Structure 1
């Protein structure tokens, strides 16, 4: 896969030149408040990049600007892609200056369409903090089903937090319905 593109976004594979941006995104205080994450150094970021396999598809989200330029807007990806069982785990981080503008849903629809139609996945899963209403709402818009609650599963910002395990089946994915939420 080379590039996925919409009128507002381009999703393309992460390159080594993107690693500092990914690290900065990972350490952004606004993003860290709401996402499950492990602290990384730049050296760890390089090890992560060098350890990627065919089972991982991290993409950089580029936002098209009115002047025709592109600005980095986050990262989205499918990980642990299992062709035999036709499933994968998805992850998303949107740069805080591009949040609440529909980019998360739009990029997810692009990624899931690729996953279900090109990779022939049957299921995409993820985890999210149970106390994050915005993320919970977005997953509902996308058609995810809550498949389990992992109590006190993550230690985050000085407290244990519950985590919701969610799944989206190919037959439940309705991209037209999800895209009506894009601004």
Structure 2
């Protein structure tokens, strides 16, 4: 499965991506707001194998974000599928990203959740210290529905994403 936009695409993770994923997850420029990961390549490969079983069962989906020229520049994941909502996260973009890859990857993941999986709502959490990502989600139209001492918990509706997409498409020519 491949989802494509103007400058990037999302494709499902494969075992061959283990070293790339590990390099992102262990890089202090990108991992400040992510859960800890074992630095063992064999462990990452094993995790991907387990994940692929859950993918087959349609429980979660993990994507590599790559530029249209094939250069990998990040990851994004859909998980915690509920009756009325999907969660997304594990969102990392490295220095090889395109100018609008954050917007494009967010819209692609919403396209996946809303159009392919059939949900009308998405939920996700962001650590309170991750100010730039909180700002991004608020600009997209997401609402904080609760919080704890560490995280804000957001929801966004399909129609809100569609409205934001129209506004951004006109503004940025995406």
TM-score bucket (shorter structure) = 0.7 to 0.9
Q: Which residue number in structure 2 is paired with residue 81 of structure 1?
A: 81
3-state SS of the aligned residue for 1:86?
Answer: coil
Query: Aligned runs of 1:5-154 on 2, under 5 Å?
Result: 5-33=4-32, 35-40=33-38, 41-52=40-51, 53=54, 54-64=58-68, 69-82=69-82, 85-91=83-89, 92-98=91-97, 101-151=99-149
Aligned length: 164
Q: Cα–Cα, structure 1 residues 57 and 182, in superposed 2: closer, same or farther, change >3 Å?
A: farther
Give the structure-2-normalised TM-score: 0.84
3-state SS of the aligned residue for 2:37?
Answer: coil
3-state SS of the aligned residue for 1:60?
Answer: strand
Q: Over aligned residues, Cα RMSD in angstroms?
A: 2.0
Structure 2: stretches of 5+ with no match in the other structure: none
Structure with bigger strand share is 1
Q: Does the 8 Å CA contact 1:31/1:96 hold for their aligned counterparts?
A: no
Q: CA deviation at 1:32?
A: 1.6
CA distance in 2, matches of 1:127, 1:168: 12
Q: CA deviation at 1:106?
A: 1.0
Q: CA deviation at 1:102?
A: 2.2
Structure with bigger helix share is 2
CA distance in 2, matches of 1:127, 1:138: 13
Q: CA deviation at 1:182?
A: 7.9
Q: CA deviation at 1:108?
A: 0.7
Structure 1: stretches of 5+ with no match in the other structure: 152-161
